Amino acid sequence: MLEFIKTLKSIKKRDPAARSLIEIALIYPGTRAIILHRLAFFLWKYKACFLARLVSEINKIFSGIEIHPAAKIGKEIFIDHGSGVVIGETAEIHNNVTLYHGVTLGGLNPDNGLGGKRHPTIETGCVIGAGAQILGPINIGKNVRIGANTVVTKNIMENARVIGMPSRIIEHKDSLKKEKFTPYGIGNKILPKPPHEMIEELNIKVDNLSKELEKLKMLKGK
């Protein structure tokens, strides 16, 4: 019970829309999904695989979140909104991770073509934005923040900021332990400018350079 209350408090700190612990416990689909997954994982661990899958399906119906019973999920996990989240069989999520709606922790075939580790490992403190796809048996390091709709298929070092399809690192810090939690994965301050703005700025620079070149030609002609 104490661990559950600790989780609710950690969620409240990460969700600016949360008003009370009771609201988080009774209304949030992510909370229900994790509780039911704990039961499904317990059943799977003791070889009651059919019952485990049944609980998982019930979980999906009532929360909109699909978690395979064998997925290993740590403490203080926050699945915000939740709809469309998919977490595969061999996925591992460490403590204090935040996932937004539409996130997929999906699988890719191992190199040997056999079973085994097919899904990602998400280390402590990561924030994964809405619609992000993390695919294959890769490792996402501690405190990584992944922007919305990013597609990641390679290992990411800890404390990185990642966006794009395919993914690219746009910022990296030696340590983010003291940094205040920022919702939604990537803050606006570090997002690159939209392509049309970058093109417009380049056009202005080209025009200015052309004018300077014309001035130099005129001076040379004199």
Same domain assignment for residues 184 and 204? no
Q: Are strands 160-163 and 168-172 parallel, antiparallel or unpaired?
A: antiparallel
Same domain assignment for residues 102 and 209? no
Is the CB of residue 41 less than 8 Å from the CB of residue 87? no
CATH of the domain at 82: 2.160.10.10
89-102 mean pLDDT = 95
Q: What pLDDT, on a 0 to 100 scale, did the predictor assign at position 212?
A: 84
- Burial group, residue 182, by CB count within 10 angstroms (0-12, 13-18, 19+): middle
Same domain assignment for residues 35 and 125? yes
Same domain assignment for residues 183 and 217? no
Quick check: 214 pLDDT over 90? no
Share of the chain above pLDDT 70, in %: 86
Domain count, the chain: 2
Quick check: 112 pLDDT over 60? no
* Domain extent for 32: 2-191
Same domain assignment for residues 202 and 183? no
Which of 83-87, 180-184, 202-206 bottoms out in mean pLDDT, i.e. has the lowest? 180-184
Same domain assignment for residues 115 and 216? no
24-47 mean pLDDT = 94
Sheet holding 168-172, edge to edge: 78-79, 98-99, 127-128, 145-146, 160-163, 168-172
Report how far residue 69's alpha carbon sits from residue 56's, in angstroms, rounded to the nearest whole number: 6
Which tokens go with 216?
Answer: 């130099």
Alpha helices in the chain (DSSP H): 2-14, 21-27, 29-45, 49-63, 195-221
Is the CB of residue 102 less than 8 Å from the CB of residue 85? yes
Same domain assignment for residues 104 and 206? no
Same domain assignment for residues 129 and 39? yes
Same domain assignment for residues 127 and 222? no
Q: What is the pTM of this model?
A: 0.78
- For 79-102, b/e burial (b = at least 16 CB within 10 A) is bbbbeebbbbbbbbbbebbbbbbb
Q: Are strands 86-87 and 104-106 parallel, antiparallel or unpaired?
A: parallel
Q: What pLDDT, on a 0 to 100 scale, did the predictor assign at position 179?
A: 62
Same domain assignment for residues 157 and 208? no
Q: What pLDDT, on a 0 to 100 scale, did the predictor assign at position 188?
A: 57
Same domain assignment for residues 52 and 115? yes
Q: What pLDDT, on a 0 to 100 scale, did the predictor assign at position 55?
A: 97
Same domain assignment for residues 46 and 85? yes
Quick check: 191 pLDDT over 70? no
Quick check: 220 pLDDT over 80? no
